[in-house]
Amino acid sequence: YGRLGIGPTGNIGRSLDDMGDNLVAVRLGTSRTAVQVSAGGSHTCAVLDNGQLKCWGYGEYGRLGIGPTGNIGRSLDDMGDNLVAVRLGTSRTAVQVSAGGSHTCAVLDNGQLKCWGYGEYGRLGIG
């Protein structure tokens, strides 16, 4: 689904030759670094050093927070500066993220908790 964010891959890490200097870094954007990351069953999200939140992987149910999508991250062209940041609200930034099986929640700089994705069973907490 692209959840690794490094293009079309199978499994990485099954061979020691995959690791170390051979392990490809996820492209988050020009001069951007991750300060916190969370991986769900089929998607991954990172809070960046500038407070942006970016998610990639399987986009079903809106779990990536960037509208209706298929798989993001299976192509390197999806990543880096092309990877759309989640819109959290006017002048809001993320301080923490948690990626669930089919949903995502983020704690914002003002202390609010916002959740999106598959909402069955009340998992989004919004009724």
Q: What is the pTM of this model?
A: 0.89
How many CA atoms does the CB half-sphere of 32 hold within 13 Å? 21
Domain regions of the chain by residue span = 16-122
Q: Which helix (H) or strand (E) holds 43?
A: strand 43-48
Contact 73, 56 (CB under 8 A): yes
Tokens 């099954």 locate to 14
Task: For the chain, 127 residues long, give each residue's pLDDT as a single digit of tens.
Answer: 666 666 666 677 778 888 899 888 999 999 999 999 999 999 999 999 999 999 999 999 999 999 988 899 988 899 999 999 999 999 999 999 999 999 999 999 999 999 999 998 888 898 7
DSSP 77-104: GGSGGGSPBP--STT--EEEEEE-SSEE
Q: Count other Cβ atoms within 10 Å, centred on residue 37.
A: 13
